[in-house]
Structure formats: structure tokens, C-alpha cells
Structure 1
Amino acid sequence: MSRPGLFSSLRFKFALVLALFSGLLMVLVVLSLEQNIRRSLLRENLDKGLGIARAIAFNAEDPLLTGDDLYLFSAARNALKAPGILYARILDREDTIRAADEVRLVGTRPNRTGGKILTDRKDFRAIRRQQGQKSWYELQVPVWTVADPPVRIGSIHLGLSSEPIRREIMVMRRQLTTLALGALLAGGLAAYLLAGFAVRPVLGLVEAVRQIGRGNLDQHVETRRRDEIGILTAAINDMAGSLREKEFIKSTFERYMSKPLSDVLLDQESIELGGEEKTVTILFADIRRFTPLAEKLEPGAILELLNAFFSSMIEVVAQNGGMVDKLMGDAIMALFGAPVSLGNDPLRAVQCALDMQRTIVDFNEAQKARGLPPLQMGIGINTGQVIAGNIGSTSRMEYTVIGDNVNIAARLQGLAGAGEILISEATWHEVEREVEAEALPPMQLKGKQQPVAIYRVTGLRLDL
């Protein structure tokens, strides 16, 4: 598959999403600013109009009481000289127009319909009025006498144009829109360049995955990034390493387990990689008094001795259908029933232990011929529920079993003397028809509150 086109590339999509998000954010900011500025301009215009109306009201007390209509008309017309004033009307206590900028309105009552009250206080009222497409604001300020208590003798009505506010809003909107578009273009370009930097390593990863798909597992993509791309790169490197390990394991499976077991594992298509609960028989075998022996030998001789010992024991485990779980110093742990069960797991484990004890006799004969001291081994076996699965990380993992039943098998091995095979009661119940064993006094195992029944295996029944 070739490189994606511009509009289908991750780089373009990343830049587009960021640009759309930035655009939406800017629209919300512009709308919020517009509302705040609109409220601020309205408050400013109302304050200016309120100052004019209160000045007229302050000077209109005597003319209203004395009937000086000439002064009232002069005050109304002078009010129109202020910017944004549409009309000025002076009403008496019966709300009849006494003076106005239009003489024809004198003696009439003002139209009180079609308005939305914005502020309604004792000293003034602000109303938004609309007629068709035209809208304006009206201020109503009462005229009071200076008597105590004051008496309302009329009111001042001023019409304020909304056009100045609209013009200011339009200018502000054009400025903010220009600024937002400029920022959007700059942000989109920056996002496109940033996306190019972010996705550039993906092309290298694609080529590495293609090589892995072709069977070339010697792939390792260098990266110093710690972001998601770096994590993906590390995961691909881990995958390549894991595949290499699996190829190695596939070629060496039969060196560590029986041919039937390896065939089952290699043919199994749905082996669970996580943990699962299984009934497994666990065998622990340990060389007795190995530490004093190791102190007498050179390091090279110790390694040679252990390698020869483990080679013999691993072969015995494989012959009995078991799997070597791990080698621990001078001890070996084997599983029967995991990862898969071949049937009769407890019996095969006991048979394996007997074969191991017989094999070590032959092993010691060879050691004696070379002038080396003999080895003796104690074995413990237990059967029960464990958690079986892969433990580790993506770059290094191993299949093993954990649980209390594993600990019991290890404790039995610790109690077993040289040449002894100790099994638990759970294992004994599974093999008592085929195995000869003698019951030992119950023993207190570490981590157990009650003594545990233990059996020493002496051999297989002759009538099998």
C-alpha cells in the first residue's frame, strides 16, 4: 500500500480537527465578547441618557407647577441636541404630554405597548421598545417636588437610539472576525506542520511492520520519543523480539518437554495468554547437601556438573509428558497438566519422580568413574488448583504457575530426605490405586495452620 493522499492522511485529519476545534472555540469567544460589549455599551448609553433626563427633571419642577410650557418645550428640544436622543417628552401628573420635540403630541398620552422593561426602579425605568425592524430604548424619570414628603408631578421620557450600539458591535465584530480568521489560519498551518512532525515516525514503523510480515524478524526501530508514538515503537520492537523468541522456542520445544506435549502446544490455536485457573500437579526436585559439595569444586566444574544433572532430569521430565517450568540453582520445578493436560497428570508426575531417582543412580555411576562425588535428590509433589499463565512484561515473559498448592509442593521437597519422594494427600487420592506409599505422621508446613498429611512413595503396584 502506497502513502495515503493528502486528504486521507493522518496529518491532514489532525490539522483539520485542531482547526475546527480552534474555530469553534473562537466563535464561542467572539459571541461571549459580543454579549459583554453589548451590555457594556447599553449600560453606558443608558447612563448618558439618564444624566440628561435627570437634569431635565431637576429643572422641570417649577415650570410644571407654574405652567411655563415655553421652558418645557425649550428643554425638550435642547435634549435632542445630544447624540443618540430620538425624542424627549415631558408629562404631567396625569401622564399627559405637556411638552415634546413634536408639537402634535402635546395633549396626548404616550403609547405604552410593545416594550420590554429592562430596569424598573423608583427613580427611573428603562424600557426596550420595538416597532417593526426599528428598536430603541426609552428612559422614564419621574419629576418630584421638593416638599416633604415629595410628590410626583410628572415624568421625563427620553428615546435613545440603538443605532450607535449596533454600529459599535458591527465594528467590533469585524475586528474580532478578522483576528479570529488570522489566528485560525496561523493555527491551522502550525497544526499541519506539527502533525507532520508527529506522524513522520509512523512511516518508519510501517516499513518495519512490513518487514516483520515478510518474516524478517531482525527489526528494531530506534526512537527517543516518550509519547504515544514512542510507546507504539517500543511495542513493535517488543513484538519483533517476542516473535524471535517464539521462533526460537518453536525450534527448541522438544528439548524441554515430550513430543506429544509439544505437538499439542504447537497445534493449539487458542492458548490463553492471560492467567487461568487449572488443576496442575507440581514437582519440585532439589540436590541434597549441594552447597558443601560446591565449595570443594571449581566454578567451571560446578557448572559442568549442574548442566549434566539438569540435562538428565529434563529428559526424564519430557519422557513422562511434563514441562520444566524453571531451574532454580540446584533445583528443578516441573509441571504436569499445564499449559495443557495429557491426562493422568498426578500419576505421570509420580512416575517421573521414580524415574528421576533411578536416573540419578546411573548418573552417580558416571560421576564416580570420573572421580566426582555422587548426588542425592529429594522430591516433593502436590496436586491442586493454581493460577497458570504468562508473567513478566511485553519484552520478557515466562509461563508459570502460582498459588498455595505450588508452595505446598516446595515445602514437601524441603522435607524430603535424600532419595525420598513425598506427595501430598491430594496427589495420593489421585494415584493410590497405582502407587505404593506409606503414610507419614502429619507435619506442620510453613504457612499452614493445621498439620498436613504426607505420604512417602515406595514404588508402583506390581499388578498394574
Structure 2
Amino acid sequence: MADGPGFFNSLRFKFAFVLAVFSGILALGMMFLLEQDIRTSLIRENIDKGIGIARGVAFNTEDPLLTGDDIALFSALKNALRSPGIQYAVIVDTQGQVRAADDVTRVGKPFVPFAGNDIIEKSGEYQVSRHYLGGEAILDLEVPMVTVGEPPLRLATIHLGLSEELIARQITAMRNRMGLVALVGFILGGVAAFVLAGIAVRPVHVLVAAVRAVGAGNLEQHVIPRRNDEIGILTTAFNDMTVSLREKEYIKNTFERYVSKPLAEQILKHKNELQLGGEEREVTVLFCDIRRFTALAETLPPTEVVQLLNDYFTRMIEIVSAHQGMVDKLMGDSVMALFGAPLSLGDEPLQAIRCALAMQRSVESFNEERRRLGQPPLQMGIGINTGLVVAGNIGSSMRMEYTVIGDNVNIAARLQGMAQQGEVLVSEATYAKVGDKVEASRLETIAMKGKSRQIEVFRIDRLRQS
């Protein structure tokens, strides 16, 4: 029996790990979305601040622009550059000439727009572009400078360079704080999950002990359900399983795998009716056989012969089980089925006939499939007889099987041998019990070895409509 799963394979660790990873992914996703929102907000805030600075410069330089007071212009730009994040300031007149700038070498020269400018925002009052200066991202804020009176007269344009490095530093600080919060949440989530998983899996240990006892052969295990969640459902299912295993063990020890499910259910309900070791009882015996199968098998490869028999037996066995019968033997290409043994469920002769007609219909359907595949059809005959037989375990202490023996078994086999393709032949004993429920044709009588009286034979044509 295997030992415990080990810490890293335990449900507690897996549950804690999955929850912690989920929490971490959720936190990272929230950090990403929040970072984008904050980035947008900071950019907006810096643009608004730059617009305010530009308008302040414009207000203070209206007269100097009109009077040509360059000292006042440079003084206004110097004050603007004192604001954090302002990288440069340039005033350009209406002819495109630089009137004032933080870099005095540009004064009096034509203003040349920065290379790689990408406009990211534009309105009637300002324009924002992004370019790179020395590898640093700069937002170029362009604001017209107009007179205060009416109508406003455009005097010049001011360009302010807003550094995005300041925004990046603010975002990095925010990211570090959120990362610390996420890490703490990851650890706390893992610890909480580990504790909760420990509480959740305690009943599982009880179930494991019970399952190991069942594996050792003790099927009398029963675990009291103490919870109404999935663990409680699992506990109930385990108890149901042990009950089912005890029933299956009984069936296995009694009939191995030969009993159909409906018949097995009846056996469990009527255990006291079983007499193992042999008893005389009335049984309806059915034999079915593929006609000229040996000749057909000689024309096919061995693998196709096996596949053909498997397909054929699968259909026949399912039909027998569906009609409350028990497959007693598979002999070559023949099937021997019993109705009424080991238990009588009532109306066995009629059930056997219904089973036989269903078998013939199934073979017809099977033949249609084979014709479509270019394969030769099967021809099957069925014989049925009802009478007293000896039923019980036959064999030795090392190997036994439940079966029936007697003349009435031989009669069913003889009828099957007489049946032509598609025919269902029954003895007079079987017909006497179902004569009012079937339409049949009387055939010739047959003589059985050791019997003075001949047996009448009937061919079943169809069931009567009820």
C-alpha cells in the first residue's frame, strides 16, 4: 500500500499554491491596469500643468512681445524652467523665428520642429507631440500666445518640453508599492489557503484509511458523513461503493461473470432460492448457430474471423441480457442461453421466443452493414425447448461452472440444427406455453435417440398483436 503523497504532492500544498498563484496573477493584472490608468492620469496632469505655465508666460510676455523687450521674455522663460519636469522653453513669432529660448544660440534663427514628432493630442488651444531628446521621451507642448483684448491677436507660439522621465519615476515608485502589497497578499493568501486546505482534507484522510482497508479485502467499511459539501457527497459515494462491492463479491463468488445484470439483481433479492450443487428445475434453453460458418471462415483471414465473431457475439449477448436470459456457453460460433435458471422470473418461454426474434432481426441489420462493405451475409438458425433439466455447479473444486444438462438441452440443440436460415424452431413443450401469443407453423415431428415418442416441431412466424 502506498504511503502519503508527500508535502509537494499533497492537496494542501496544491490548493495553497494554486490560490496563491491565482492571487498573484490577479494582483499583477490589477497592477497593470492601474498602472495604465495612473500613467494616463499623470500625463494628463503634466499637460494641464504645462498649459497653465504656458498661459502664464503668455500673459507676462504680451507687452514685451509688442515692445521688443527681450530681457523680459528671457526672464519669463527662466521662471517657467524652474517648474519640475520642464526641459526647455522656446517662443516662436508669427514669422517662424525664435524670439526667446533657454538655449540662446537658437534666438533669431528659424524654428525647426523636433525630429520624430508624433502628435498625440491636438485642440484649438494647444497641441501635444512626443519626440526623443538624447534618448529621453519629451512631450512638446505647443500653445499659441494671443492678446487679451478683443479680437485676440496671435503674437507668437510657446513650446514647452515636458519630460516623461518624471512620470516614469512616479510610476516606478507606485509599482514598487503595489508590488509589495501584492507580495504580502500572495503570502497571506497562500497561508490562508494552506490552513483551509488542511481543514478540508481531514475527512479525506479518514476516507483514505477506509479505502486502504477495502483494498486489503475488508468490505465492511462504513464512514459516517459529517459534512454536507462535496466531501460529504464523496463519503456517501464511498459507502454506496462498499455496499455495491459486497453485492458484486457475492455475485462473483456465485456465478462469476455469467449472470446478466437484471438477473443478478433478482438473485440478490432472492438469495434463499439458490441451491448450489445441482437441482431439477424447468428451464427454457435456446441455441443459436451461424450456418456454414466453417466454410465462411476458411475464406477470411484469422483476424477478420475473430472480429466477425466478436461483433456477432456482442449483439447476441446484449439481446439475451435484455430479455432476462443468461448466456451459459459460447461454443465456436454457437450461443447457448438459459431462461429460468438459476432463478425463474416468470414467462421464460415467451421471453426466449422474443429473444430469438430479436436475434434474427439483429442479424438482418448486421447483414445490411456487411453487404454495404462487400462482405458475405451470415445465416443463423435458432432452436428452443422447455423442460426439466438438472441445473447447478459442474466441474471440480479447482474450476466449476454453472450450467444445465439433460435430454431437454439436447432437444434444443437438435432443433437448432434443423433450423434453416432465419428460422426459429420450438418444441411442442415450448409452444404449449405460448401458443396463444405467437403465430407458428407446424412442421414434421422428430425422433430423439432413446425416446419412444416423437416430438412435434413448430416454426415461429411472428408474435401475435396484443
Q: TM-score, normalised by structure 2?
A: 0.59
Structure 2 vs 1, CA of residues 93 and 339 (structure 1 numbering), >3 Å: closer, same or farther?
Answer: farther
After TM superposition, give the deviation of residue 336 of structure 1 in Å: 6.3
Structure 2 vs 1, CA of residues 179 and 439 (structure 1 numbering), >3 Å: closer, same or farther?
Answer: closer
Q: Quote the residue 1:368 is aligned against.
A: none
Q: Quote the residue 1:172 is aligned against.
A: 174
Alignment coverage as a number of residue pairs: 333
Which residues of 2 match residues 126-275 of structure 1 at below 5 A?
A: 126-144=128-146, 152-250=154-252, 253=254, 262=255, 266-267=256-257
| Mapped contact 1:346–1:431 kept (Cα < 8 A) | no
Which residues of 2 match residues 98-117 of structure 1 at below 5 A?
A: 98-108=99-109, 109-117=111-119
**1:375-413 Cα deviation digits (max 9, x unpaired):** xx99982433699xxxxxxxxxxxxxxxxxxxxxxxxxx
Q: Quote the residue 1:45 is aligned against.
A: 46
Q: Quote the residue 2:325 is aligned against.
A: 338
| Mapped contact 1:126–1:139 kept (Cα < 8 A) | yes
Structure 2 vs 1, CA of residues 441 and 173 (structure 1 numbering), >3 Å: closer, same or farther?
Answer: closer
Partner secondary structure for residue 327 of structure 2: coil
Question: Which residue of the other structure, out of 126, 132, 150, is the alignment partner of 1:124?
Answer: 126
| Mapped contact 1:116–1:127 kept (Cα < 8 A) | yes
**1:170-217 Cα deviation digits (max 9, x unpaired):** 221221111111111111111111121222222222221221122111
Which residues of 2 match residues 283-432 of structure 1 at below 5 A?
A: 319-320=283-284, 338-340=325-327, 381-382=350-351, 383-384=353-354, 430-432=424-426
Identity of aligned residues (%): 43
2-structure distance, mates of 1:206, 1:217: 14
| Mapped contact 2:284–2:348 kept (Cα < 8 A) | no
Q: Kindly provide the amino acid, as one letter, of the partner of residue 164 in structure 1.
A: L
Structure 2 vs 1, CA of residues 272 and 13 (structure 1 numbering), >3 Å: closer, same or farther?
Answer: farther
After TM superposition, give the deviation of residue 98 of structure 1 in Å: 0.1
1-structure distance, mates of 2:427, 2:44: 101
Structure 2 vs 1, CA of residues 317 and 215 (structure 1 numbering), >3 Å: closer, same or farther?
Answer: same
Partner secondary structure for residue 98 of structure 1: strand
Structure 1 unpaired stretches of 5+: 254-261, 281-305, 323-333, 357-376, 388-428, 444-451
After TM superposition, give the deviation of residue 223 of structure 1 in Å: 2.1
Q: Kindly provide the amino acid, as one letter, of the partner of residue 384 in structure 1.
A: R
Q: Which moved more, 1:130-139 or 1:176-185?
A: 130-139
| Mapped contact 1:143–1:154 kept (Cα < 8 A) | yes
Q: Quote the residue 1:463 is aligned against.
A: 454
Structure 2 vs 1, CA of residues 347 and 249 (structure 1 numbering), >3 Å: closer, same or farther?
Answer: closer
Structure 2 vs 1, CA of residues 336 and 56 (structure 1 numbering), >3 Å: closer, same or farther?
Answer: closer
Structure 2 vs 1, CA of residues 139 and 439 (structure 1 numbering), >3 Å: closer, same or farther?
Answer: same
| Mapped contact 1:129–1:136 kept (Cα < 8 A) | yes
Structure 2 vs 1, CA of residues 442 and 434 (structure 1 numbering), >3 Å: closer, same or farther?
Answer: closer
Structure 2 unpaired stretches of 5+: 264-269, 287-320, 359-422, 448-452, 456-466
**1:87-118 Cα deviation digits (max 9, x unpaired):** 22111012221012332221132442133322
**1:299-328 Cα deviation digits (max 9, x unpaired):** xxxxxxx999999xxx77675569xxxxxx
2-structure distance, mates of 1:231, 1:346: 43
1-structure distance, mates of 2:225, 2:161: 72
Which residues of 2 match residues 62-73 of structure 1 at below 5 A?
A: 62-73=63-74
Q: Kindly provide the amino acid, as one letter, of the partner of residue 40 in structure 1.
A: S
Structure 2 vs 1, CA of residues 460 and 144 (structure 1 numbering), >3 Å: closer, same or farther?
Answer: farther
2-structure distance, mates of 1:186, 1:48: 41
2-structure distance, mates of 1:56, 1:211: 89
Partner secondary structure for residue 96 of structure 2: coil
1-structure distance, mates of 2:242, 2:48: 75
2-structure distance, mates of 1:384, 1:150: 106
**1:50-70 Cα deviation digits (max 9, x unpaired):** 111123234544443443323
2-structure distance, mates of 1:143, 1:342: 107
| Mapped contact 1:435–1:460 kept (Cα < 8 A) | no
1-structure distance, mates of 2:76, 2:273: 120
Structure 2 vs 1, CA of residues 55 and 231 (structure 1 numbering), >3 Å: closer, same or farther?
Answer: same
1-structure distance, mates of 2:174, 2:250: 71
RMSD, aligned α-carbons: 4.4
2-structure distance, mates of 1:61, 1:272: 105
After TM superposition, give the deviation of residue 119 of structure 1 in Å: 0.7
2-structure distance, mates of 1:148, 1:194: 74
2-structure distance, mates of 1:100, 1:175: 39
| Mapped contact 1:346–1:430 kept (Cα < 8 A) | no
Partner secondary structure for residue 99 of structure 2: strand
After TM superposition, give the deviation of residue 48 of structure 1 in Å: 1.0
2-structure distance, mates of 1:272, 1:51: 91
After TM superposition, give the deviation of residue 43 of structure 1 in Å: 0.8
Structure 2 vs 1, CA of residues 172 and 346 (structure 1 numbering), >3 Å: closer, same or farther?
Answer: closer
| Mapped contact 2:86–2:160 kept (Cα < 8 A) | yes
Q: Kindly provide the amino acid, as one letter, of the partner of residue 7 in structure 1.
A: F
Q: Quote the residue 2:97 is aligned against.
A: 96
Q: Quote the residue 1:284 is aligned against.
A: none
Q: Kindly provide the amino acid, as one letter, of the partner of residue 92 in structure 1.
A: D
Structure 2 vs 1, CA of residues 121 and 317 (structure 1 numbering), >3 Å: closer, same or farther?
Answer: farther
2-structure distance, mates of 1:154, 1:137: 19
Q: Quote the residue 1:301 is aligned against.
A: none
1-structure distance, mates of 2:272, 2:136: 105
Q: Quote the residue 1:416 is aligned against.
A: none
| Mapped contact 2:64–2:70 kept (Cα < 8 A) | yes
| Mapped contact 1:60–1:72 kept (Cα < 8 A) | yes
Structure 2 vs 1, CA of residues 310 and 211 (structure 1 numbering), >3 Å: closer, same or farther?
Answer: closer
Q: Which moved more, 1:3-12 or 1:15-24?
A: 3-12
1-structure distance, mates of 2:17, 2:211: 28
Q: Kindly provide the amino acid, as one letter, of the partner of residue 225 in structure 1.
A: R
2-structure distance, mates of 1:379, 1:272: 15
